[in-house]
Copies of this chain bind each other. A is one copy, B any other.
Amino acid sequence: AETTMKTYRLAMIPGDGIGVEVTGAAMQILEATAARHGFALAPQWFDWSCAHYIATGAMMPSDGIETLRGFDAIYLGAVGWPESVPDNVSLHGLLLPIRKAFDQYANIRPHRLLPGVEGPLRAQGFDILCIRENTEGEYSGAGGRVHQGRRNEVAVETAIFTRNGVERILRFAFDQARQRRGHVTSVTKSNAQKFSMVFWDEVTREVAADYPDVTVAHMHIDAMAARMVMAPESLDVVVASNLFGDILTDLGAAIQGGLGFAASANICPDGSGPSMFEPVHGSAPDIAGRGIANPIAAIWSAALMLDHLGVAEAARAILTAIEATTAKGIGTVPGRDATDKITAQIRAELET
């Protein structure tokens, strides 16, 4: 009997440093999963990176965004090589334009401790989904400087929040909570930022009214940072602005044992463009080329991609294989096990 397999077109951008190493690992696992779960992958590789910048003067070709538009999903390893290209050039030339161009307004990052991983906290049992607004707010890029270099210089940076921008990320968070334990914590600082954050709180109350089955808590960012360390098990879905989400997801990565375990997805929920999947870690020049980067964050991000593409069973199989691997003590300590060894073990677990 002949069956037509569904084929997913993937834009693969390994990027710089360990981004290249972990993307290779993620691709191996993706291919292995596809073979077992009856779908096919059509990856196309793009060498857009700091090396590309040095060679051509741009992080990606001028039609880069148009090229990506046709794919079902984008996978990105890591971007940046500060020794030769300043971070603001590399980030503003590749990662950030992609997030913007495809309106990937929901940056989602799961934080929980994999079996066998000893995090920095005594607390063990937590399972948090952080949802970060990814397109506006404190990273809008609006501002300026006057009297530059003089004694009376003033620099301003303006956070811009739109109702549509705030409402859609909150709805996304409440929808996610429905798939989980039904609790949303909305993080602001409305006692000190009377315009932006009071507005966010108001929209939260409006949106919450449409989700009577979801409970909601309001917390200030300072108290929330403390809570993630003191009582992470009390949290389910956490939703926050671009800056607050950025901070909380690095903190989330820390409590789950480090960046080697932190996966992320930049979702365009209405599907008007492709979504992008990337580990939270950067290119890590200090360990690049040594074959010791932990591929778990990258492979977990690949699982988020499959889940988003609709092959949830395959995504779950990858997570199960990651957990079986760390439960055996492989990949649990930063820098100890080779990337290849961890990847091979996850692959072996997929086959059991």
A255 touches B229 (CB 8 A): yes
Q: Tell me whether A139 and B193 are in contact (CB under 8 A).
A: yes
Write out the residue numbers on chain B whose beta carbons fall within 8 Å of the beta carbon of A229: 120-121, 229, 251, 254-255
A186 at the interface (CB under 8 A from B): no
Contact A226 to B197, CB < 8 A, known contacts A88-B191, A163-B150, A191-B87:
no
Report if A327 contacts B (CB, 8 A).
no
- Contact (Cβ within 8 A) A195 B230: no
Considering the complex, which residues of chain A in the window 240-286 have a beta carbon less than 8 Å from any beta carbon of chain B? 242-243, 246-251, 253-255, 258-259
B157 close to A156 (CB less than 8 A):
no
A197-227 CB contact bits vs B (8 Å, 1 = yes)? Answer: 1111000000000000000000001110111
Checking B145, B221, B242, B250 against A195 with a beta-carbon cut-off of 8 angstroms, the contacting residue is: B145
Cβ–Cβ contact B156 & A189, under 8 A: no
> Are A164 and B151 in contact, with the CB atoms below 8 A?
yes
Cα–Cα, bound, A164→B155 (Å) = 11
Known: A150-B163, A161-B156, A191-B91. Contact between A226 and B251, CB under 8 A? yes
The closest CB in chain B to the CB of A248 belongs to B225
Note all chain B residues with C-beta closer than 8 A to A6: none
Decide if A222 touches B193 in the complex (CB within 8 Å). no
**A111 to nearest B CB, angstroms?**
12
The reply to whether B196 and A221 form a contact with Cβ atoms under 8 Å apart is no
A156-B158, A161-B154 known; A143-B254 Cβ under 8 A? no
Query: Given B164, B193, B255, which contacts A157 in the complex, CB threshold below 8 Å?
Result: B193
Q: Which residues of B contact A2 (CB under 8 A)?
A: none
Output the least CB separation between A276 and chain B (Å).
Answer: 17
Residue A123 CB within 8 A of the other chain:
yes
Q: Which residue of B lies closest to A257 (CB)?
A: B230
- Given known contacts A121-B120, A121-B122, A189-B243, is B153 in contact with A195 (CB within 8 Å)? no
Determine the distance from Cα of A128 to Cα of B157 in the docked complex, in whole angstroms. Answer: 29
Given the known interface contacts A154-B161, A154-B163, A161-B156, the answer about A143 and B195 at a Cβ–Cβ threshold of 8 Å is yes
A56 in contact (CB, < 8 A): no
Shortest Cβ distance from A191 into chain B, in angstroms?
5
* Alpha-carbon gap, A54 to B59, bound state (A): 61
Q: Is A340 an interface residue (CB 8 A)?
A: no
The verdict on A70 contacting chain B, using a C-beta distance below 8 Å, is: no
Counting CB contacts under 8 A, is A162 at the interface?
Answer: yes
Using A155-B199, A156-B161, A222-B247 as known contacts, list a sample of 14 further A-B pairs with CB atoms less than 8 Å apart, ordered by residue number in A: A120-B229, A120-B230, A121-B122, A121-B229, A141-B194, A152-B162, A153-B162, A154-B161, A154-B162, A154-B163, A192-B243, A226-B259, A230-B258, A251-B251
A-B contact pairs, 15 of them (CB 8 A): A87-B191, A120-B122, A120-B230, A121-B121, A121-B229, A138-B192, A139-B193, A141-B194, A143-B194, A154-B161, A155-B199, A192-B246, A226-B254, A227-B254, A251-B251
